[in-house]
Amino acid sequence: MPRTLLLPPRLTASAESVSRAAEGRGLMPVQLSSPADLPEGLKAEHLHAGPTFADAVAPALGIACLEAPATWLADLPRAVVGRAIRALPIRDAWKLRYPSFIKAPNDKSLRAMIYTDGARLPGPDAVDPDTLVLVADIVTFTAEYRLHLLDGAIHAASQYAASGGLRPAPMPDGVAADAAALVADLAGTLPTAIVVDVGALDGRLVVIEANAAWASGTYASDVDRVLDVVLRAAGPAAELLPRDRAFVRPVLPLRVDV
């Protein structure tokens, strides 16, 4: 039987392209109408979807979803990220009285954006006060690039933004070597399959953030090579590489807003 790639009820353009690539490779894409109601007897080995979908289906199916540690970005040296970044519980972020770029580390529970102060964040009626957030200085990247990493090396890459706007394009040759050098030193701090976004800031390349490959868009990358990373990033728990065990997304309480 071919391996199955699970997909969410609503597909992005990236998910559609990944699905076609999977089918072309002999996998069986299966789009669920609702992750809250898994078909009886369903067996699946991989998925490509957002965190809420993954949290709803992956544990029951034995799929291990890899992600960066929650504080990974804040733990990097300032020279690598080009700005000050802190990881703190949102209860502390509520006290901020200056503009900051604030996001959740590994999901979409909080809208990633510039907040003029902490009072603009969702309050305790909407979010657990212990929820970890990343608070960063506000900077402007002149160009932004997505790197799909496999075994510590760039496996697929593309530009996705420039001059403040979405602008998918092939990865410029002149940037690829600098990007490879930047992420090479970070390989030991990340799972073997992950996405790292990097950006041009003040004439040099810095890390923007890490994202789960199973939940990331492809932009202008080679989709077949992206699929290689996706399959490793969300695959059978029984096939986990030993070094990836520390990077498995924890099983979270099931949310109803799927």
> Is there a domain that residue 27 lies in?
no
Q: What is the 3-state secondary structure (H, E, C) of 43-57?
A: CCCEECCCHHHHHHH
Q: What pLDDT digit, counting tens, does each position of 81-109 carry?
A: 999 999 999 999 999 999 999 999 998 88
The domain in which residue 214 lies consists of 140-220
Residue 47 vs residues 34, 35, 44, 62, 145: alpha-carbon distances, Å: 14, 12, 8, 11, 24
The CA dihedral of 71, 74, 79, 80, to the nearest 10 degrees, is: 40
What letter would DSSP give residue 210? E
Which residues fall within 8 angstroms of residue 170, CB to CB, at 6 or more apart? 158, 159, 220
> Is there a domain that residue 146 lies in?
yes
Q: Binning pLDDT at 50, 70 and 90, where does residue 255 land?
A: very low
> Is there a domain that residue 195 lies in?
yes
> Is there a domain that residue 66 lies in?
no
192 and 148 share one domain: yes
175 and 197 share one domain: yes
Decide which of 68, 101, 136 is a domain's last residue.
Answer: 136
Residue 257 has pLDDT above 70, yes or no: no
Domain count, the chain: 2
> Is there a domain that residue 245 lies in?
no
Decide which of 136, 161, 180 is a domain's last residue.
Answer: 136
Q: What pLDDT digit, counting tens, does each position of 176-186 carry?
A: 999 999 999 99
130 and 181 share one domain: no
101 and 147 share one domain: no
115 and 166 share one domain: no
> Is there a domain that residue 199 lies in?
yes
pTM confidence score: 0.94
Residue 187: count of CB within 10 angstroms of its CB:
14
Q: What pLDDT digit, counting tens, does each position of 188-245 carry?
A: 999 999 999 999 999 999 999 999 999 999 999 999 999 999 999 999 999 999 999 9
> Is there a domain that residue 96 lies in?
yes
Q: Give the three-state DSSP class for 19.
A: helix
Decide which of 115, 136, 157 is a domain's last residue.
Answer: 136
> Is there a domain that residue 242 lies in?
no
149 and 189 share one domain: yes
